[in-house]
Amino acid sequence: MAQAQSEREVVVEVRDVTTRFGDRVVHNGISLEVYRGEILAVVGGSGCGKSTLLREIVMLQQPTSGSIRVFGSEVTRQVQSKALDMRRRMGVLFQYGAMFGGLTVLENVGAPIREHTNLSHDLIDEIAAVKIGLTGLDPGTGALYPSQLSGGMRKRAALSRAMALDPELLFLDEPSSGLDPISADALDELVLHLKASLGLTVVMVTHDMDSLWRAADRVILLGEGRILGMGTMEQLANSDDPGVQHFFQGPRARAARLQHA
Amino acid sequence: MAQDNNHKPQVASLRVDDHTIQCSGAWTVMHLHGLERQIHGLHWPAAESIHFDLHDVSGMDTAGAWVLRRSMLQLEQSGRAVTVGGLTPEAETLLELVVDTGAGPGSVVKPPHVGMLEGVGRASAGHMAEHVGLIAFVGEMALAALPLIINPFRGRWRMVLHELAEAGYKAMPIVGLLSFLLGVVIAYQGGVQLRLYGASVFIADLVGISMLRELAPMITAIIIAGRTGSAYTAQIGTMKVTEEVDAMRTMGIEPMDMLVLPKVLGLAIALPLLTIYADIMGVLGGMVMSSAMLGVSPITFTDRLSVAVSITTIMIGIGKAPVFALIVATVGCYQGFLVAGSAESVGRRTTISVVQSILLVIVIDAVFSVLFSKLGI
């Protein structure tokens, strides 16, 4: 598998990243790659720095040291104009949606398109409506304000916005948290479907064992500031490493595995 | 399907060739601008069946697929048969995906437009409900305060002390500076006029009465409305957005007890004290200016002041302060509870809170003036 991967295009490359908040070491020399067209899941206990790593890759935060390259260019200490170019090629779904409260869903989804292209307002609205439809929402949802949406609808709406500019690289922060199992399943299906048809590369932070089995091509387990395990779900579940076993052998993990066996 | 960024992608375009539409370029969202215009002014061929040839299309994303789908829908509606060829497998799934969403002319839904008449009606009803709500809020507040009168030890006095420090102690620099400057300005402007009549010594009457009776209480209340009233609205409003207020209720803590009463009590104590402080600073400012410009020494000034200003004048000024405090704190808290949903609402409610409390302070001050003159005080 390692040989096969080395031939694939690396979209994100994290090298020896160390992050410290005061005395607390969050990442202690983490290195990983994300290949084009794969769904990479980052897992780990709460507070192990999953979200921080994601924020560092999308240029919202700076690691203390180390290098992160996205599409082949360094994102730490990035110049503003260059960063904008790269941001257009990435979409981020935040854990709580982060929809703009003063805009309707349709306007929210259209916002990045309006900002970065000079298409007509009508076409932008239509494209936004298509994106809303893509995530399985009813067209009527477009007229609602984010505060009027349920949790699952807000996640979907936020996903439509993350995909507004058809990004090559999509980051999902806990996509299924706060969703009922049926919505969570549907969201996994949706991500898989979009990946297959749009050729997306997806990096997701998740706790959801079902998602890991169903959607992830490769899983990275973070803990104690380093990478405890990396590989397909199958490999990790059969790992002898005690740290990995501890995470993947809990009752929930086993139940999820049985379901997908 | 990801576009190759090493080659500069060609701008999307199409060319009508008999009943075939030759499409080319990158049909991606960043390169669609020209294509949209081109389609807008395009005369589609009149042929019965039209074929889209996409062999030369170098890339397609959902936006591009939608533009294609939109044109197809438009043509099909006019009764023509449409076929598509030359799609890469990825583009084909993409187009299917877009077709599957069922997107069409009807899928852009916006909130219903509100006409002018309806807008005026809704705004009026809204204001009405808001003001009735304010009265109800005052009632609720009084009810919540009732147990406190029977048993004062039940109160959250630590929080009151905290509010006292936040709204009172920390406001001292700004209140002091502004009232000092106000005293300076009044002494200066008044002094110029009084000197013409050789009545410079009456500057103490002018500064003393205007500051102590009217200006110090009002300027203090206005500063506090901007500084503290806005903070109350923003704090309670944000807590409402993040459901902290609801969390409090479920824990059996009344937000009225926890959030409102300490603030109201704290401000009702802080504002009179600040007003006394503003009185002192304002008169001091007038005194400094008088001795510097009018040659009225501080001793003469204080001498004259003790004659001109009665204790009633001072008490009237200070007596208004608790009323202003109630207005600012009540309006600030009430507007905070009206926040619904979004960050934008917090901003809007904070603005309303400041504007409304300043307005009410000035109106009530005018009412007091009329009342006192009727009573002959």
Of B349 and A228, which is predicted with more confidence? B349
Contacting residues of B for A144, CB less than 8 Å apart: 111
ipTM: 0.79
Q: Nearest CA of chain B to the CA of A69: how many Å?
A: 16
Q: Which residues of B touch A142 (CB under 8 A)?
A: 107-110
Interchain proximity A127–B62, CB inside 8 Å: yes
Per-residue pLDDT at A62:
85
Q: Contact, B209 vs B315, CB < 8 A?
A: no
Q: Quick check: B30 and A117 CB within 8 A?
A: yes
B68 touches chain A (CB under 8 A): no
Return the residue of A nearest to B339 by Cα.
Answer: A147
| Residue A131 with chain B: CB contacts under 8 Å | 62
Over 80: is that where the pLDDT of A253 sits?
no
In 3D space, the residue among B208, B213, B196 whose CA is nearest the CA of residue B294 turns out to be B196
Instruction: Give the Cα separation of B145 and B189 in Å (integer).
Output: 46
Sorted by sequence, the CB contacts under 8 Å of residue B92 that are 6+ apart come out as none
Q: Inter-chain contact B343–A131, Cβ cutoff 8 Å? A: no
Give the best residue of B60, B74, B109 to mutate against chain A (max A CB count within 10 A). B109
CB atoms A126 and B28 under 8 Å: no
What is the structure's pLDDT at B26? 86
Longest dimension (CA), chain B: 104
A120 pLDDT exceeds 70? yes
> Per the CB < 8 Å rule, is A131 touching B62?
yes
Contact across the interface for B97 and A197, Cβ inside 8 Å:
yes
DSSP reduced 3-state for A91: strand
- Considering CB atoms only, which of A120, A139, A166 is closest to B62? A166
Decide: A76 and A68 in contact? Cβ < 8 Å: yes
Cβ contact A145–B90 (<8 Å):
no
Q: Is A101 within 8 Å of A90 (Cβ atoms)?
A: no
The confidence score (pLDDT) of residue A78 equals: 66
Q: Which among B66, B106, B345 is the nearest to A130, CB-wise?
A: B66
DSSP lists the bridge partners of residue B51 as B20, B83
Comma-separated ranges of CATH 3.30.750.24 domains in chain B:
13-106
A255 reaches B (C-beta below 8 A): no
Angle at B187 (CA atoms; ends B317, B195), nearest 5 degrees: 130
Q: Give the CA angle between residues A243, A247, A249 to the nearest 5°.
A: 110
Interface contact flag, B342 A126, Cβ < 8 Å: no
Residue of A nearest to B348 (CA): A102
The maximal CA–CA distance of chain A, rounded, in angstroms, is 57
Kindly report the pTM of this predicted structure: 0.75
Rounded distance between C-alpha atoms, residue A46 and residue A41, angstroms:
15
Hey, which residues 299-328 in chain B have their CB within 8 Å of chain A?
none
Instruction: Give residues with Cβ within 8 angstroms of B336, minimum separation 6.
Output: B232, B233, B234, B235, B236, B237, B239, B240, B259, B349, B353
pLDDT digit string (tens) for A20-55?
888 888 888 889 999 988 999 998 877 788 888 888
Comparing C-alpha atoms, which of B333, B340, B348 is closest to residue B137?
B333
| Chain A residues close to B103, C-beta within 8 Å | 126, 129-130, 133, 139
| 3-class secondary-structure state, position A221 | strand
Residue-level pLDDT at B25:
86
Dump pLDDT digits (tens) for A149-205. Answer: 888 888 889 988 998 888 889 999 888 877 778 878 888 888 888 787 777 899 999
A198–B62 C-beta distance less than 8 A: yes
Taking CA–CA distances from B91, the nearest residue in chain A reads A197
pLDDT in tens, A48-102: 888 888 888 888 888 888 888 888 888 877 666 677 778 888 889 988 888 888 8
Separation in Å, CA of A174 to nearest CA in chain B: 19
**By the CB < 8 Å criterion, does A127 face chain B?**
yes
| Sheet (strand A201-205) strand order | A90-93, A169-173, A201-205, A39-44, A218-223, A226-231
> How does pLDDT run across B103-146, given as a tens digit for each residue?
777 778 888 888 899 999 999 999 999 999 999 999 999 998 88
Tokens standing for residue A136: 């399985």
Q: Which of B103, B342, B343 is closest, CB to CB, to A130?
A: B103
Q: Pick the residue of B1, B6, B27, B29 with the most A CBs within 10 A to test the interface with A by mutation.
A: B29
Cβ distance B343 to A102 less than 8 Å, yes or no, reads yes
Q: Select from A166, A168, A200 the residue whose CB has the most chain B CBs within 10 Å, as the one to mutate to test that interface.
A: A166
Residues near A254 by beta carbon (within 8 Å), at least 6 away in sequence: none
Fold of B13-106: Transcription Regulator spoIIAA (3.30.750)
For chain B, list residues with pLDDT below 70: 1-9
